[in-house]
Amino acid sequence: MSIFTKIINGEIPSYKVAENNDFIAFLDINPNAKGHTLVVPKKEENKIFDLSKDEYSALMDFSYRVAKALEKTIACKRIGMSVIGLEVPHVHVHLIPINSMADMQFQQKVKLSNDEFVELAKLIADNFV
Ligand code: 5GP
């Protein structure tokens, strides 16, 4: 079982920003930038291109809605998107509010307190439609 399935099952906590029957979005615990969010299908699949075309399209639709909420919440130049999965083998889309290429490089990290994560997740969730 992946760590993200444990989050989906409520076995470990997360700073959730959006959820429906098929997907969940929560803040990355070690963010590249403030608002770095992971969008995860509840069905545990390792690689994104092993999803069916319908599952892939639905993931992109949900990610679009989360990205719109991030744009409303975080001052940034744009929302960067990437899919990697080398650390956690459970499909997830990284949505990252970026101001420079460095924000996409998974090297510079931002430290946030628990209170800052809680507040940020609430602001994003309030802007999710
Ligand atoms: P990837 O698998 O795409 O290389 O990276 C996995 C991402 O998941 C990393 O950005 C890492 O910080 C994040 N991550 C790993 N474990 C957890 C966790 O338990 N909770 C949260 N919210 N994020 C995690």
Domain CATH number, residue 12 = 3.30.428.10
> Probe ligand 1: pick from 8, 12, 29, 90, max atoms within 8 Å of CB?
29
* Spacing, Cα 70 to ligand 1 middle (Å): 18
pLDDT-derived band at 125 (thresholds 50, 70, 90) equals: very high
pLDDT-derived band at 5 (thresholds 50, 70, 90) equals: very high
Per-residue pLDDT tens digits for 91-124 = 999 999 999 999 999 999 999 999 999 999 999 9
**CB neighbours of 111 closer than 8 A, spacing ≥ 6?**
none
Per-residue pLDDT tens digits for 22-72 = 999 999 999 999 999 999 999 999 999 999 999 999 999 999 999 999 999
Give the residue numbers spanning the domain of 57. 3-127
Nearest atom in ligand 1 to the alpha carbon of residue 82 is 3
Please state the domain count of the chain.
1
* Spacing, Cα 71 to ligand 1 middle (Å): 21
Predicted model pTM: 0.98
